[in-house]
Amino acid sequence: MRLLLVEDNVPLADELVAGLKGQGYAVDWLADGRDAAYQGSVEPYDLIILDLGLPGLPGLDVLAQWRGASLATPVLILTARGSWAERIEGLKAGADDYLTKPFHPEELHLRVQALLRRARGLANQPTLQAAGLHLDEQRQCVTQGGVDIQLTAAEFRLLRYFMLHPGQILSKGHLAEHLYDGETERDSNVLEVHVNHLRRKLGRAVIETRRGQGYLFGTGAG
């Protein structure tokens, strides 16, 4: 999953980027509201974390521009402690959730997970489940038939994306856009290697190849 973090506090941004990457997310970071307004509207992010006190263009104005352009990407806003008016205005402007500074990184990670599931209609699932698999996002492993199966970091990122999009044909280009940040070279051959690794661990029926289209997850699993 590819996230955009918009935060002008550099030490905080560095901490958040490191933590989110450790959770298996691809993260782009911007510090200026004007840059965020543009990039958030043209790049295929799965979720955006938006601070409201930004140089260039205030976060509320950035959010208003996105929603005015019908951008439906989930947005989690960061607000200062005690700034209830900002929280209310952010939710009115179209934010999906908010988090008050200072906060524990684990709370941010859990809210991100919840928003991503909600966006896919999976809000009622305590853990991510699809095709007979249960994904543990904290331990970054998967359970199949009651057996824990260990995953590499790349396999975990790919499987999580598949499990959030069961029954949907996903091209290699689409997967690359959502699994890598803007600075990472995207190689479809590497994706194919990871798909084959997942098939060896979970069974070939879990991920189907649709020639000329991409991959289809979940329809062949029990």
Where a domain ends, among 119, 152, 176? 119
Instruction: Supply the range of the domain harboring residue 192.
Output: 128-217
Distance CA 49, CA 3 (A): 8
Same structural domain, 161 and 78: no
| CB-based contact 76:45 (threshold 8 Å) | no
Structural domains of the chain, count: 2
pLDDT value, residue 220 = 61
Q: Are 142 and 149 in contact (CB under 8 A)?
A: yes
Q: What pLDDT shows up at residue 84?
A: 79
Q: Are residues 189 and 132 in the same domain?
A: yes
Please give the model's pTM, rounded to 2 decimal places.
Answer: 0.91
Amino acid 86: pLDDT:
81
Q: 149 with 173, same domain?
A: yes
Higher per-residue pLDDT: 188 or 138 = 138
Element holding 216 (H helix, E strand): strand 214-217
Q: Which of 119, 153, 188 is the last residue of a domain?
A: 119
In order, the DSSP letters of 163-190 are HHSTT-EE-HHHHHHHHS-TTSPP-HHH
Cis preceding linkage at 102, omega within 30: yes
Q: At what angle do helices 172-179 and 188-202 cross, to 10 degrees?
A: 90
Domain contains 28: yes
- In percent, how much of the chain has pLDDT > 70? 97
**pLDDT of 155 above 60:** yes
